[in-house]
Amino acid sequence: MSELNSYRTGPDENGHFGIFGGRFVAETLMPLILDLEHNYKAAQQDPTFYAELDDLAKHYTGRPSPLYFAERLTEHCGGAKIYFKRDELNHTGSHKINNCLGQIQLARRMGKTRIIAETGAGQHGVATATVAARFGLPCVVYMGAKDIERQAPNVFRMKLLGAEVVPVTSGAGTLKDAMNEALRDWVTNVDETFYIIGTAAGPHPYPQLVRDFQSVIGRETKEQMQEREGRLPDTLVACIGGGSNAIGLFHPFLDDPTVNIIGVEAGGHGLETGEHSASLAGGAPGVLHGNRTYLLQDEDGQIEEGHSISAGLDYPGIGPEHAWLKETGRVQYVDATDSQALDAFQLCTKLEGIIPALEPSHALSHVLRIAPDLPSDHLLVMNMCGRGDKDVFSVAEHLGVKLV
Amino acid sequence: MTTRIDTRFADLKKEGRAAFIAFVTAGDPDFETSLEILKGLPDAGTDLIEIGMPFTDPMAEGPPIQASYLRALEAGQTMKKTLDLVRAFRKGNEATPIILMGYYNPVYHYGVEKFLSDAKTAGVDGFIIVDLPAEEDEEMCLPALEAGLNFIRLATPTTDEHRLPAVLKNTSGFVYYVSVKGITGAAAANTGDVSDAVARIKAQTTLPVAVGFGIKTPQNAAAIAAHADGAVVGSAIVDCIKDNLDETGAPTADLVPTVLEFVKSLADGVRSARQAPAAD
């Protein structure tokens, strides 16, 4: 582990976290991301920008989200004290809204009149369609044709919210292809369009600004834990697809050396089967979607499809800051399989009366793994980043239950 | 250094005409057919050849080139085989410049230094890497220049006066002007706009300026060639390849001659462009 003074100063002026990040985009987009960077810097100096955002967070999203002591799960594990940061209670049901509100406020500041987004499970699509409706901007969401099939309720939600959902059939028809298609739209409609990227990835400054907008999760956690327990938590756990909820929870704690930080990737059918979405554990550094990061790829540098029971983790890459945090050793990355996540999903539902999304069920599965061996005064926080309503149909299918 | 690209443009300048630049994907629809097409391109009037390096996620390509990349990958094309293709082409042709075009990840994964060295040995003259803007010059552009290979930069309608010097700074061989905001295979550009843009770029560089994106017919090619030093056609050619596959995706006997005939019509369009004295 390298000895750094701070883990919180990145990215550098070229958008690099160590060797990761950067601006690997077509020339057509280059002036746009430079303009975005310039406008974001200006917004950061503008108190009214944050005042408006705070107001929306409070009255529209419902922040702060509670820090909840999961008493029965704690009893069940018989070890660490387990807390949930309850971002699943946010408006639209996940942490995605934090980022969408921030980005649409930037879009409005920049005078953009059209919003585009990519989505996998549909959570980011719904959150984007929601903020676009709230501010009266037309919105186009690119979604893989396969995901549209898997996530029909979210597709209908987006349509109700007035968004146009465009099925993507190119490539494998999943999240990475939706992102390619959104980039193609952006290259074509450069003047009026703002691309709201859903995770802490993409060309600089996206990984930074998504992280910044999601860091409200970690800042609140720090305050709330101080209030409840009078100290910092000992362990943080969050699931990782692209990694936006995780970086949001982790970032405010990176320079607190006593806090043990763990990211949980989607292990799919198990790393050994090759069918997973664990880019850090099973991938190699590469360049895709505007940034250098760990990618699932073959020996010729062709991108491979991720697999996960959770469409929200089904991405062959990961945010560049996570790639860097892995290399520096500051954050530990592990994985949980589809079936482990399903077990955690059911246990949490029965013991806590909270139906978690399949994404945080991966994080929870790791919590169940480590909590029993930790002392009872060990404070563990897991980010409950989404609710499971969207997943009940696919869970039923996996459990062999026929609905209707 | 003088590369095949420099020599070819200098010769064409003497002839007083623009270059016709054809794009095909390496290994589309399969290695052998692709090689046969490549070998036929110079006689069909192609002055420079761009060879696409297939990639799963080509974010600036429209459906025709996306599909051609996937056809090639399905037929087993790899980076190594793409260099084999160039090597095989070079056995019969020492003069026609070859530019490899594509995306950075397969090159990065291969190893930049090794790739540059292997590409040079195989007979490659230059590169266009879509997702390496000037901001990332240290990745491959500067090493390529050092290795004596051209790195051709894209300029676009969004590249304004202020940004153009940065884009031109380490460009060599020629400048590739992307005539439309959008992806390959998009609608044709307005000739007047293209002519203005080419003049704008030429005011800042002595390099030749070739124009691509949206050129589909001999007429389009002629219109562009009247105002630029080169016209690039890609999507229309790979679509012609697709149209000559049978229902199993295998090439029909007509494929190679039909493609080369189409290429010839495009090249003739370019050659006809300045029969009338050039406007400037």
From A178, A193, A210, the end of a domain falls on A210
Does residue A367 share a domain with residue A255? yes
By the 8 A CB rule, do B44 and B264 touch? yes
Widest CA span in chain B? 51
pLDDT in tens, B65-97: 999 999 999 999 999 999 999 999 999 999 999
Whether residue B135 and residue A14 make contact (CB cut-off 8 A), yes or no, is yes
**Cβ contacts (< 8 Å) between A292 and chain B: which residues?**
108
Contact A344, A369 (CB under 8 A): no
Residue A7 belongs to some domain of the structure: no
Q: How far is B166 from chain A (nearest CA, A)?
A: 11
Minimum-distance CB partner of B183 among A188, A286, A292: A188
CA Rg value for chain B: 17
Which residues sit opposite A261 in a β-bridge?
A: A236
- According to DSSP, the residues that pair with A284 across neighbouring strands are A295
Residue A5 belongs to a domain: no
- The A residues from 174 to 233 touching B (CB cutoff 8 Å) are 176-177, 180, 183-184, 187-191
Does the distance separating the beta carbons of B63 and A302 come in below 8 Å?
no
The verdict on residue A184 lying in a domain is yes
| B114 to A266, B33, B101, B120, B124: CA distances (angstroms) | 34, 27, 17, 10, 13
Closest CB to A287 among B108, B110, B158 = B108
By C-alpha distance, which of A47, A197, A50 is closest to A119? A197
For chain A, say whether B232 makes contact (Cβ under 8 Å).
Answer: no
In this structure, the answer to whether residues A195 and A220 fall within a common structural domain is no
Q: Measured between CB atoms, which of A22, A183, A300 is closest to B78? A: A300
B109 touches chain A (CB under 8 A): yes
Cβ of A27 and B156 within 8 Å? yes
Residues of chain A positioned with their CB less than 8 A from the CB of B105? 286-288, 295, 297, 301, 303
Q: How far is B261 from chain A (nearest CA, A)?
A: 30
- With CB atoms and an 8 Å threshold, state whether B131 touches A290: yes
Residue by residue, DSSP assigns A59-97 as III-PSPPEEE-HHHHHHHTSSEEEEE-GGGSGGGBTHH
The whole-angstrom separation of Cα B174 and Cα A246 is: 45
Judged by a CB distance cut-off of 8 A, whether residue A302 touches chain B is yes
* Chain A residues closer than 8 Å to B183 by CB: 184, 187-188
Average model confidence (pLDDT) across chain B: 95
Q: What local confidence, expressed as pLDDT, does residue A3 receive?
A: 60
pLDDT for res B277: 46
Residue in B56, B63, B167 nearest the CB of A303: B56
Cβ–Cβ gap B135/A189 under 8 Å = no
Contact B135 A23 (CB under 8 A): yes
Q: Closest to B104 (Cβ–Cβ): which among A24, A27, A187?
A: A24
Distance of residue A42 Cα from the nearest chain B Cα, in angstroms: 20
pLDDT tens sequence across B11-31:
999 999 999 999 999 999 999
What is the Cα–Cα distance from A97 to A213, expressed in whole angstroms? 10
**Last residue within a domain, chosen from A188, A210, A232:** A210
φ, ψ for residue A303 (rounded to 5)? -75, 135
Tokens representing B149 are 């290979």
The chain B residue lying nearest A285, using CA atoms, is B109
Q: Distance (Å, rounded) from C-alpha B19 to C-alpha B9?
A: 7
Cis omega (within 30 of 0) for bond into A11: yes
- CA dist B103 and B114 (Å) reads 16
Residue A9 inside a domain? The answer is no
Contacting residues of B for A189, CB less than 8 Å apart? 181
Do A228 and A105 fall within a single domain?
no
Of the candidates B136, B156, B183, which has its C-beta nearest A184's C-beta? B183
B80, B104, B159: residue with CB nearest A27: B159
Contact B160 A31 (CB under 8 A): yes
- Show which of residues 146-205 on chain B sit within 8 Å of chain A, judged by CB atoms: 153-160, 163, 167, 178, 181-183, 186
* Among chain B residues, CA nearest to A26: B131
- Per the structure, the count of domains in chain A is 2
Whether A51 and A181 share a structural domain? yes
CATH code of the domain containing A266: 3.40.50.1100
- Give a yes or no: residue A185 inside a domain: yes
Query: Would you call B133 an interface residue with chain A, using a CB distance cutoff of 8 Å?
Result: yes
Domain match, A108 and A133 both: yes
Residues of B in contact with A173 (CB under 8 A): none
Contact A289 B134 (CB under 8 A): no
Last residue of one domain, picked from the residues A181, A210, A239: A210
Q: Please name each of the domains of chain B with its CATH number.
A: 4-272 (3.20.20.70)
pLDDT beneath 70, residues of chain A: 1-3
- Closest by CA to A213, choosing from A44, A15, A19, A20, is A44
Say whether both A346 and A225 belong to one domain: yes
Q: Are A338 and A358 members of one domain?
A: yes
Residues A185 and A272 in one domain: no
Residue A8 lies in a domain: no
Q: Of all helices (H) and strands (E), which one includes residue B146?
A: helix B141-146
What span, in angstroms and rounded, lies between the C-alpha atoms of A324 and A111?
Answer: 34
CB contact under 8 A, B131 and A24: yes
Residues B76, B27: contact at Cβ < 8 Å?
yes
Domain extent, residue A168, equals: 16-56+95-210
Which pLDDT value is given to residue B233? 97
Closest approach of A94 to chain B, Cα-based (Å): 28
Whether A311 and A378 map to the same domain: the answer is: yes
pLDDT in tens, B187-218: 877 888 899 999 999 999 999 999 999 899 99
**Interface contact B60-A290, CB threshold 8 A:** no
- Tell me, yes or no, if B108 comes closer than 8 A to chain A by beta carbon: yes
A128: in domain: yes
Residues A346 and A244 in one domain: yes
For chain B, positions 26-85, list CB contacts with chain A under 8 A: 54-60, 62-63, 66, 70, 73, 78-80
CA A19 to chain B, closest CA, distance in angstroms equals 11
Q: What distance in Å separates the CA atoms of residue A172 and residue A305, rounded to the nearest whole number? A: 8
Which of B62, B106, B186 is the closest to A301 by Cβ?
A: B106
pLDDT of residue A1: 47
pLDDT over 70 percentage in chain A: 99
pLDDT for the residue numbered A174: 83
Split at pLDDT 50, 70, 90, the class of B1 is confident
Of the pLDDT bands very low, low, confident and very high (cuts 50, 70, 90), residue B60 is: very high
Q: Is A171 on the interface with B (CB under 8 A)?
A: yes
pLDDT in tens, A66-104: 999 999 999 999 999 999 999 999 999 999 999 999 999
Two tokens at A90? 């946010």
pLDDT, position B275:
56
Query: Hey, are the CB atoms on B130 and A290 less than 8 Å from each other?
Result: no
Please check whether residue A16 touches B, CB under 8 A. Answer: no
My answer on whether A370 and A258 are in the same domain is yes
In a domain, A363, yes or no: yes
When pLDDT is cut at 50, 70 and 90, the band that residue B279 belongs to is very low
**Residues A21 and A80 occupy one common structural domain:** no
pLDDT at B278: 47
